[in-house]
Amino acid sequence: MIRTRTSRAVKIFVFFLVLFMLNSSALWAQEQALQERAQKPVKHVMILVMSGVSRDSHLKTYTPTFHDLSRIGVKFDEAIGVYPPNNPSALVSLATGATPHRHGLVKPLQKLTAESIFHVMLSHGRKTMIVATDDSAVEPLSSGFNEKVINNKKNDVEITDQALEAWKKSKPFATMVLYTSPALTGKQEGVDSPEYLKAITDTDHQIGRWLNMFQEEGIFEDTLWIITSDHALLRPGTSIDKKVEAEMILPLVMAGPKVKMNVTLPPVRTIDIAHTITHLSGLTEPAQSEGDVIWNALLPTQDITEEAYYELRVRDLSLQVLDLSKSAYQLAEDKLTIDDRVESLQKQKQEIEIFTAEKEDVIESLEKKVLYQRYLIGGIVLLACIGFFIEYLVLRKKFLMF
């Protein structure tokens, strides 16, 4: 009996020992993989843009590629876009890290006054490519690409076919792909329509074709992947307080070298993407860029710990809050100034109304006087005529005797 109990105890001990060793081995292997990933250089950059897709619309539909990538990368609760939420302004902000007021494309016919990450890459001798079916959206950025696959007449499937072949030949360092089908379908059919949700799924499938090609080429792990949107579409009848959430809250996932795996992080800005890409690629940030590096999305290295990354992120967020506070203060000052001007204009309006009313009273009084004078003159003329007639009758009777 004692031997049986001892044998059972030994078996249990051995079982848990093996389980512990297997678990430790798995953790060690995972830790080694993360360390290798933290040191791995970025050899390619892929920015895939689903135009006209909000975070809420994205959550309502089937997007397996996006979710598969989030399991090996970082998914953000939401990405905050820019205002105005339309192209080319929003797409340019994504590529430059600058808000529309900084890069200069707020209204039509305005010129780009900021440098994009693709201009930076070209200056460092790295190839770039743009893929799009909307030339007007990418035209301000076109000088930053030495290879262009742009055709307004092709759909997303056809442009992807052409782009994949072109990419295999040139193998550029950075590629931006703009898929416009969701935006076009949403504008035509509405953002709550089945056609719009299907367009998002179809776009996700085209993005999946890029991932599959890179896996076949054996360079998937060496590529920095970003899937996001440039702007969202507004539902008809959306209230003013809901417009920001409807048009500017976007999906975002990032994966690749130096990036954490299978984590979800708090919101970031779309203008932060450009600076993060240049940092991970070992390049300088674009001129006029206002974005920050998303430090908390990066894996710690031998030189910098995770706590240090969080400190950097907190510092940048604190500076953002400071800038927002200054902007809020300036807006409050502007509001007070505008309120004072409105009050002054209202007083002037009241004074003008009073002055106008007084003048109208004077004019009405003068009109009455003129009317009375006309009546008086008419009466005098009538009396004169009657007098003349009576005098005529009297004189006629007196002198003519008939």
Q: How confident is the model at residue 175 (pLDDT cuts 50, 70, 90)?
A: very high
Predicted local distance difference test score (pLDDT) of residue 239: 63
Predicted local distance difference test score (pLDDT) of residue 242: 67
What is the residue type of 207?
Answer: I
pLDDT at 29 over 60: no
Q: Residues 6 or more apart from 10 whose CB is under 8 A from it?
A: none
Q: What is the mean pLDDT of residues 95-120?
A: 87
CA distance 199 to 353: 58
Quote the percentage of the chain above a pLDDT of 70. 87
Q: Report pLDDT digits (tens) over 249-281.
A: 999 999 999 999 999 999 999 999 999 999 999
Q: How confident is the model at residue 370 (pLDDT cuts 50, 70, 90)?
A: confident
Taking each continuous run of H as one helix and of E as one strand, the counts in the chain are 13, 11
As a whole number, the mean pLDDT across the chain is: 87
Predicted local distance difference test score (pLDDT) of residue 55: 92
- Which range has the top average pLDDT, 108-117, 131-140, 364-373? 131-140
Q: Report the half-sphere exposure of 217 (CA within 13 A, side-chain side).
A: 19
Higher per-residue pLDDT: 186 or 5: 186
Predicted local distance difference test score (pLDDT) of residue 108: 65
Higher per-residue pLDDT: 242 or 283: 283
CATH of domain 37-299: 3.40.720.10
Q: What is the mean pLDDT of residues 374-401?
A: 81
Q: What is the mean pLDDT of residues 318-343?
A: 85
* Domain locations in the chain as residue ranges: 37-299
Q: Residues 6 or more apart from 276 whose CB is under 8 A from it?
A: 254, 291, 293, 294, 297
Q: How far from the centroid of its chain's Cα atoms is residue 124's Cα?
A: 28
Predicted local distance difference test score (pLDDT) of residue 26: 47
Q: Which residues pair with 177 in a beta bridge?
A: 48, 131
Cis peptide, bond prior to residue 41, ω within 30 of zero: no
What is the residue type of 272?
Answer: D
Predicted local distance difference test score (pLDDT) of residue 21: 58
Q: Positive or negative CA dihedral for 197, 207, 225, 166?
A: negative
Q: How far from the centroid of its chain's Cα atoms is residue 371's Cα?
A: 68
Q: How confident is the model at residue 27 (pLDDT cuts 50, 70, 90)?
A: very low
Predicted local distance difference test score (pLDDT) of residue 344: 87
